[in-house]
Amino acid sequence: MIESKIKVLRKAAQVSTMHDSDKIWCVIAGNEDMVNNVAYEAISEKERVQILFREHITMKESLVTKKFDFIILYGDLNKIRDLSLICKDNGGAYLKIAPFYVLNEPNLILLVGPDTVIKKFVGDIEKKGIKYSFILEDKTTGFIETDVYMTNRLPKLVRNVIDPLFKMTDVVLSTLLISTGEDNIKKVKEIAKSNQIFALEFKKILEEE
Domain ranges in the chain are 2-208
In contact, 121 and 111? CB cutoff 8 Å: yes
144-166 per-position pLDDT tens digit: 555 555 555 555 655 555 555 55
* Of 135, 143, 137, 195, nearest in space to 173 by CA: 143
pLDDT band at 38 (very low <50, low <70, confident <90, very high): very high
Report the C-alpha gap between 58 and 55 in whole angstroms. Answer: 10
- For residue 40, give every residue at least 6 positions away whose Cβ sits within 8 Å of its Cβ, in sequence order, or none: none
**pTM score above 0.85:** no
83-126 per-position pLDDT tens digit: 999 999 988 999 999 998 988 888 999 999 888 889 999 999 99
**CATH class label, 2-208:** alpha beta
* Of 100, 95, 89, 126, nearest in space to 111 by CA: 95
